[in-house]
Amino acid sequence: MFARYCSATRCASRGFQGRWYVCPGLLNRLQGREFEVYYDRRDVSVLYLFVEGSYVGEAYCPQFLGSRISEWEAEALKTYHRADKEAAAREGRESRARIQATVQPAKKRRRAEVRAEEQGRQWDRQRAEIRPAGVLEILQGLRPSRPEQQPLPKAVPDPAPDRPVRALRVRPRREEPRL
């Protein structure tokens, strides 16, 4: 067993050796007092707390969920997860950059469209004031008409298939009793 000296406020805010430990109801009683932390290098999931040489309770690491894990295994897990965490962060940054790159041009295009629509509405409102009704009728006649849409060709069924098509049986539905 190894011992470390610790105060309740410092351990509560930082954890112990980079891991969080919980001891329900015990930290409140130890608030502001110095205590000793004993732990076994072969099982760092449990800390044994002593105040003035007498045992007061245990603190458990929720990260390990009650399993026995040695100090070097915990450090190896931490290193392994750090690499995964960095890879996930890097992938997230790339994804956010890609999304922002696609959003910026769309924002600019949308802003330009809204600006053009608003300007068109303003021109439409002022058009009657600028030109008399007769001129507006002549301009309306000069506007190119929309070409009529060509009708779609008639639907033609596919030619007979090369091989026979097997029709699937439909199971009869069970009748439910009516109430």
User: pLDDT of 13-27, one tens digit each?
Assistant: 457 777 888 887 776
The residues near 105 (Cβ < 8 Å, ≥ 6 apart) are: none
Q: In percent, how much of the chain has pLDDT > 70?
A: 89
With 0-12 / 13-18 / 19 or more C-beta atoms within 10 angstroms meaning exposed / middle / buried, residue 166 is exposed
Q: Which is higher by pLDDT, 14 or 127?
A: 127
What's the distance, CA 159 to chain centroid? Answer: 49
Where residue 93 falls among pLDDT bands split at 50, 70, 90? very high
Q: Exposure pattern of 103-130 as b/e (b: 16+ CB <10 Å)?
A: eeeeeeeeeeeeeeeeeeeeeeeeeeee
Parse the chain into domains and list their residue ranges. 2-69, 70-133
Residue 36, CA distances (Å) to 17, 50, 69 in order = 14, 5, 21
pLDDT above 70 for 174? yes
Q: Which is higher by pLDDT, 27 or 173?
A: 173
Distance CA 27, CA 11 (A): 9
Supply the pLDDT for residue 68: 82
Where residue 104 falls among pLDDT bands split at 50, 70, 90? confident
Tell me what the mean pLDDT of segment 75-102 comes to: 87
Distance CA 49, CA 8 (A): 10
Among residues 22, 63, 27, 58, the alpha carbon closest in space to that of 40 is found at 58
Residue 101, CA distances (Å) to 89, 91, 94, 104 in order = 18, 15, 10, 6
Task: Copy the structure tokens of residue 128.
Answer: 């009657």
What pTM value is reported for the model? 0.42
Distance CA 70, CA 72 (A): 6
pLDDT above 80 for 160? no
Where residue 9 falls among pLDDT bands split at 50, 70, 90? very low
Among residues 89, 1, 111, the alpha carbon closest in space to that of 46 is found at 1
Q: What is the mean pLDDT of the chain?
A: 79
Supply the pLDDT for residue 44: 81
